[in-house]
Structure 1
């Protein structure tokens, strides 16, 4: 059980420390010594481990023993990491968390094999739980939602991938804010929903409490993605490990700030911004100008407010959950997601 004087950063550190060995052992088991180096590369690169924290804190807040949820917490972190492996292949991403991505370091073949291995390890971990049938069902359904979110995210890109006939045929030149929210609730919120629900399931909570945690995870995930959109455009590279203007470089219309900014731009600025977004390789000068135009629309401040609103909605979902240290840390986590810098 959590100590009363434990703050959120310390709690996240403690949970990560508990989850790490479970991750490493589960990945290494049944893998050759040679392959273990490949398998461990993504998890050794770091990460915030927020999803395992949501799961374990949800378990304790729902009246359960978080230690009993360790395997499920490790499983959800592995789901997250293997989707990142696939995401980096799809996006041709070469760096993540300040180190080369798995495909870049070890090649496409080993990256794909590692992703398959991760998926099977997830099942192995969840089978150790007395709630394995329910947990596996949750993970399976949310992975399918996540895949649909990734599909939409790719289709929202404004140029590129012309060698892929499906994307060329189905590309979305126009994207509404509702389309964006639908995409991010699938791509990003899915694992937060799954994490919170799985924690409550491991606690043996009733369906109304499980549903409350699902709503918490859903809104937390949207808030998290909006802030990610902000950081992908205007974050400090030294903190995020990402290029300033990353989503413009990657032609992504599925970014809240870009969508809202385009609504506020006048004709000339809007035409220029779209030309940069749809340019196969924009110059640094044009990228800087596009970012300046976007910033002047006030979308940075708007993004923080939108993220805060979703964070507040996430917190409101837990009003049916009795007060506890774990619940208060979940509420703190909802605030942290809004005001983080990486």
Structure 2
């Protein structure tokens, strides 16, 4: 049994009850199934599990943090609904996305419902004002990270803002700037929410002395998580990963750790071929296969995995400031899972 199985056994039912409680408030029965669909498709529930575990790590009853756990999972799924609209994605968790199942307009309305469910959960926290501020900052960070992610695409978008301000082609001649922008992007798009999940446990139980260490733990855990996600996007098994393999390539992204590492190593001819694929109007499965072949000529996969491990080591160092108890050890196991997972 891995750490997520263990924590799901301890907290999973209560987390799901909280999600249904806030999403189901005042929902029209004809709309209920569509509203609940996103959270019913599964998912690791990593973020709320972190929130409840950090509450225990700070020496208090995890149940106090249940509204906060709901907040982070609702933010996560709220962002996924809009992410899938933006990317026109059809598959998530091996199931149709909300937009694929119900249409883009319905998905937008469902996303709004999630945002208001978050507000309802905030009202049940220990300090609604502090939680509201932290939630707003986190959602803004995710939004900014998504903006940077799109700007780092090599081509593809037709929206005037993104075509006029595209960063990808501009940064190709400066690998250091491209890498730094990528790290900033994943820090906002992914790590900000895992950081919030980590500090929300401490905030829920009034353990201010834990917040700094948990902020660092969550930030570096989030960075490691996204770098490994990038590796799995290119080299993963769709049956385990639950998302399309090569999705980042299909979306013309330079903002993927493996792609960035490969661009640094490829000779001019191979780099030109990879960029040609990324600039194609329609990227086929054959194109994706060829892109993976080109990337595989380099040490990109190994270097990206090394980067994930480096972030994980910084996260574990922060955990050391919390002392030792069974919950801290569970947080350490979450970290180990993050850098070894296949899904």
Task: Tell me, yes or no, whether TM beats 0.5.
Answer: yes
- CA pair 143-80 structure 1, distance change in 2 beyond 3 A: same
For residue 178 of structure 2, what is the aligned residue in structure 1?
176
Contact 1:8 1:329 in 2 (8 A): no
For residue 76 of structure 2, what is the aligned residue in structure 1?
80
Question: Residue 300 of structure 1: CA displacement?
Answer: 1.4
SS at match of 1:124: helix
For 1:6-155, what aligned pairs fall within 5 Å after superposition? Answer: 7-155=3-151
- CA pair 17-214 structure 1, distance change in 2 beyond 3 A: same
For residue 174 of structure 2, what is the aligned residue in structure 1?
none
SS at match of 1:154: helix
For residue 236 of structure 1, what is the aligned residue in structure 2?
237
Contact 1:61 1:321 in 2 (8 A): yes
Deviates more, 1:8-17 or 1:171-180: 8-17
Please give the alpha-carbon distance, in whole angstroms, between the structure 2 residues aligned to 1:227 and 1:330.
18
Runs of 4+ in structure 1 over 6 Å off:
none
Contact 1:12 1:50 in 2 (8 A): no
TM-score by length of 1: 0.95
- CA pair 6-232 structure 1, distance change in 2 beyond 3 A: closer
- CA pair 133-104 structure 1, distance change in 2 beyond 3 A: same
Question: Residue 8 of structure 1: CA displacement?
Answer: 4.8
Structure 1 gap segments, 5+ residues each: none
SS at match of 2:339: helix
Contact 1:98 1:241 in 2 (8 A): yes
Please give the alpha-carbon distance, in whole angstroms, between the structure 1 residues aligned to 2:336 and 2:38.
27
Contact 2:250 2:284 in 1 (8 A): no
For 1:159-174, what aligned pairs fall within 5 Å after superposition? Answer: 159-162=155-158, 164-172=159-167, 173=169, 174=171
Contact 2:217 2:316 in 1 (8 A): yes
Question: Residue 15 of structure 1: CA displacement?
Answer: 2.0
Contact 1:96 1:241 in 2 (8 A): yes
Q: Does 1:288 align with 2:284?
A: no
Contact 2:4 2:44 in 1 (8 A): no
Structure 2 gap segments, 5+ residues each: 172-176
For residue 190 of structure 2, what is the aligned residue in structure 1?
188
- CA pair 190-268 structure 1, distance change in 2 beyond 3 A: same
The root-mean-square deviation of aligned C-alpha atoms, in Å, is 1.5
TM-score by length of 2: 0.95
Question: Residue 7 of structure 1: CA displacement?
Answer: 4.9
Q: Does 1:202 align with 2:204?
A: yes
Question: Residue 160 of structure 1: CA displacement?
Answer: 1.3
Deviates more, 1:173-182 or 1:222-231: 173-182
Please give the alpha-carbon distance, in whole angstroms, between the structure 2 residues aligned to 1:122 and 1:262.
40
